[in-house]
Amino acid sequence: MQTFDLGAEGLRALNSALHALKGQTNMTEWEVINPKGAHAIAAGVDAPVDITVRGSTGYYCAGMNKLATVRVKGSAGPGVAENMMSGTVIIDGDASQYAGATGRGGLLVIKGNASSRCGISMKGINIVVHGNIGHMSAFMAQSGNIVCLGDAGEALGDSLYEARLFVRGTVKSLGADCIEKEMRPEHYAIVEDLLRQGEADTKAKPEEFRRYGSARKLYTFNIDNASSY
């Protein structure tokens, strides 16, 4: 276990050490202490290592993550796991706005609530939120899945492409071109798998979720749909 005191050694030293890990390494377990809401903790890691942050983080924690597992034992500020490519990011507390934005792959788990714009423009990431998601979540989301055990705020899935949105609670309102869709057997399977991966399988069952997706009317500009944009 490598223990790194962020208060004493600073962010640049931490991220330089983590960026130096490539491919196989025997330094697979990392612990970051005294994060104190610092920005960009463990951003840009590209190695199959396990990093535990003991406290809350600021902007862009685990941004662009590849392969690594990053665990935040607190809450995360804006843009956690932004543009994640692969790996896993697990937040024990809440996440601020645009969690998982533009994420291309991997799994983001938020055990508390996520605020506005969760999964905005996501492109393949899977996001499991044990609590609620805020307004404008999954705005222009292109692919991947959101599984939300709580409620969704206003304008869910506005201008949605092919991401799948599974919500167990209420949806305050649907955004433009987002509609409720039938849950088919393959969707129950996706939710079941993501609940298990997201450590939420004891909290909810797949049959409790509703699915929301794109009505596919706004993909390309059509003058007849001008009032819907």
Where does this chain bind another protein (CB under 8 A)? 36-38, 56, 58-59, 75, 77-78, 94, 96-97, 115-116, 134-135
* Residue 36 vs 203, nearer CB to another protein: 36
Report in angstroms how near the CB of residue 193 gets to another protein at its nearest.
Answer: 30
Q: Which is nearer to another protein, 135 or 187 (CB)?
A: 135
Q: What tokens does 218 get? A: 């706004």
Give the helix ranges, DSSP H, for 49-115. Answer: none
Q: Which residue, 105 or 131, is less far from another protein as judged by CB?
A: 131
The conformation of residue 227, written as its DSSP 8-state character, comes to: G
Provide the H-helix boundaries in 77-162: none
For the record, the structure tokens of 13 come out as 């030293």
Please give the distance of CA 126 from its chain centroid, rounded to a whole number.
7
Strand partners, 143: 123
The pair of three-digit structure tokens given for residue 45, joined into one six-digit string: 């890691």
Query: Would you say 119 or 134 has its CB closer to another protein?
Result: 134
**Residue 130 or 135 having the CB closest to another protein:** 135
Least separation, in Å, of the C-beta of 219 and another protein? 25
Considering the complex, what minimum distance in angstroms separates the CB of residue 37 from another protein?
A: 4
Distances (CA, A) of 146 to 63, 126, 167, 210: 18, 6, 8, 11
- For residue 4, the minimal CB distance to another protein (Å) is 17
Q: How far is the CB of 3 from another protein (least distance, A)?
A: 19
Closer residue to another protein (CB): 60 or 209:
60
Residue 65 contacts residue 106 (beta carbons within 8 Å): yes
The least CB distance from residue 115 to another protein, in Å, is: 5
For 175, what's the count of Cα atoms within 13 Å in the CB-facing half-sphere? 26
The radius of gyration of the chain from alpha carbons, rounded to an integer in Å, stands at 18
Which residue in 55, 139, 41, 125 sits closest to 97, CA to CA? 139
